[in-house]
Amino acid sequence: MVSIMGCLGISVYPERAQTEEIFAYLEKAHTLGYKRLFTSLLEVKGEQEAVIDNFEKMISYAKKLGFQTLIDINPKLFRQLGISYTDLSFFHNLGVDGIRLDLGFTGLEEALMTRNPYGLKIEINMSSGTNYLENIMSYSPDRLNLLGCHNFYPQRYTGLGEKFFTECSAQFKKYSLHTAAFVSSASAKIGPWALQDGLPTLEEDRFKAIELQIEHLKSFGFIDDILIGNAFASESELKAGAAAFFAIQPQLHVELVTGISIVEKQAVLENLHLYRGDQSEYLIRDLNTRTKYAATPIKAQNNAEMIKRGDILLVNQNYGQYNGELQIALRDFPNDGRRNLVARIAPEDLFLLNKVQPWSTFDLKLR
């Protein structure tokens, strides 16, 4: 059963990888806190019994490790295997915790499936951009068994944009349904099809580092589960993904300016930062550091004629009571000498600045 809390997950495709490699991948992910497994059975190719047996072995092993498995299917598979939406015993016997409908039925069938006697979760496509969910809801489904999951997009330039992604996701959060979306591994090469340029949900994320993709999805506030769409992610990616997913605060990576003082370095890296609620178009102002360093004079360092977006500043003693306030530039503006340039948001993290919300906390970390 999928937890009401968010899960971090991986994807595995038994028809395209060796069992030993899959088991080793599951073990590695398990030790890092990954709890959800996505797999795909859109159609059975080859000898049916052997294919199903292969899936059963993987699902059984994953279950022993504590994974929750949802399997991607479509109406074609129902027809191929002679399965009725009124009898989901095949999937119960397969050992999965739920089924994801890559393509849906009419709405009535999905609602009826949520009331199956096995407690199987029915996960529907969040990326359709239609009134599909509203139609299902009109048939009074069991909401505890109804989930949503966005698609992934193997073809470059076909992933979702933020606006459409947000609009589709809002439909599901309106009903407080559990949601999921995909990020992509740079090192992984295996998906459900032979060719793919990564498997993200958002096009903007396709070639970003995996931890940045996860921070991006988390920043929206409406995605519960985050899944790596392709296999096999490297160990370093699995670790970086887990660190980002389980981080209590959003994390922005920084590059320190050379020659800064110990206090300036500490102000950046050793504090929990709190974005003041009275927003400026020019600056994110940290509510915490000004109090902490009030009695520590910050000497003026005229180290930048212009402040650039992403620059991290520490107000110096020439600004009186504002001494010690950490700020992050949102726009370019001239430096009058009362702010010391102490660090910069890493270039690849700059896009996340727009996601930091007033009265939210965040960490600044070295990569």
pLDDT per residue as tens digits for the range 99-120: 999 888 889 999 999 999 999 9
pLDDT at 69 over 50: yes
Mean pLDDT confidence for 73-96: 90
Q: How far is CA 283 from the centre of its chain?
A: 27
Binning pLDDT at 50, 70 and 90, where does residue 75 land? confident
Residues in the chain: 367
Average pLDDT over the chain, rounded to whole? 94
Between 46-50, 111-115, 240-244, the lowest mean confidence (pLDDT) is in 46-50
CB-based contacts of 25, cutoff 8 Å, min separation 6 = 10, 12, 231, 232
Indicate the class that CATH gives domain 252-366.
Answer: mainly beta
Strands annotated E in 89-224: 98-101, 121-125, 146-149, 178-183
Structural domain boundaries in the chain:
8-247, 252-366
**What band does 3 get if pLDDT is binned at 50, 70 and 90?**
very low
Measured distance CA(23)–CA(17) in Å, rounded:
10
Alpha carbon of residue 298 to chain centroid: 38
Q: Are 11 and 231 in contact (CB under 8 A)?
A: yes
**pLDDT of 1 higher than 80:** no
CB 107 within 8 A of CB 101: no
CA-based end-to-end distance of the chain: 36
Residues in CB range of 175: below 8 A, 6 or more apart? 133, 137, 143
- 338 SS3 class: coil
3-class state of residue 128 by DSSP = coil
User: What's the average model confidence in pLDDT over 201-212?
Assistant: 97
Q: Is the pLDDT of residue 145 over 50?
A: yes
**Of 77-86, 156-165, 194-203, 258-267, the least confident:** 77-86
Average pLDDT over residues 36-59: 88
CB 72 within 8 A of CB 38: yes
Alpha carbons 103 and 9: distance in angstroms, whole number:
22
The owner of tokens 């080793």 is 24
pLDDT tens digits along 169-186: 999 999 999 999 999 999
CA-based nearest residue to 100, from 39, 13, 172? 39
Per residue in 326-362, pLDDT tens?
999 999 999 999 999 999 999 999 999 989 999 999 9
Q: Residue 329 is encoded by which pair of tokens?
A: 């530039």
Residue 46's pLDDT is 72
Higher pLDDT residue, 104 or 52?
A: 52
The upper half-sphere exposure of residue 189, i.e. CA atoms within 13 Å in the direction of its Cβ, equals 2
In this prediction, residue 5 has a pLDDT band, given cuts at 50, 70 and 90, of low
The Cα–Cα gap between 168 and 170 comes to 5
The per-residue pLDDT for range 254-309, each reduced to its tens digit, is 999 999 999 999 999 999 999 999 999 999 999 899 999 999 999 998 778 899 99
Residue 2 is given by DSSP the state: -
| 274-299 as b/e: b if 16+ CB within 10 A | bbbeeeeeebbbbebbbebbeeeebe
Other residues' Cβ atoms within 10 Å of the Cβ of residue 66: 9
Q: In this prediction, what percent of the chain has a pLDDT beyond 70?
A: 99
pLDDT reported for residue 4: 43
Give the model's pLDDT for residue 156: 97
Residue that the structure tokens 């949601």 belong to? 179
Residues 306-334: pLDDT tens digits?
999 999 999 999 999 999 999 999 999 99
Read off the amino acid at residue 59: I
Specify the fold of 8-247. TIM Barrel (3.20.20)
Q: Which of 13-17, 27-31, 264-268 has the lowest mean pLDDT?
A: 13-17
Phi, psi of 344 (to 5 degrees): -140, 145
251: how many CB neighbours lie within 10 A of its CB? Answer: 20
Alpha carbon of residue 185 to chain centroid:
12
Instruction: DSSP for 259-295, please give it.
Output: T--HHHHHHHHSS-EEB-SS--SSEEEBTTHHHHTTT
Residue 214 has pLDDT above 80, yes or no: yes
Helix (H) / strand (E) containing 169: helix 162-173
Residue 82 above 90 pLDDT? no
Alpha carbons 91 and 186: distance in angstroms, whole number: 32
* 139-160 b/e (C-beta count within 10 Å ≥ 16 → b): eebeeebbbbbbbbbbeeeebb
Which two structure tokens, joined as six digits, stand for 243? Answer: 């660190």
Distance from C-alpha of 129 to C-alpha of 126, rounded to nearest angstrom: 8
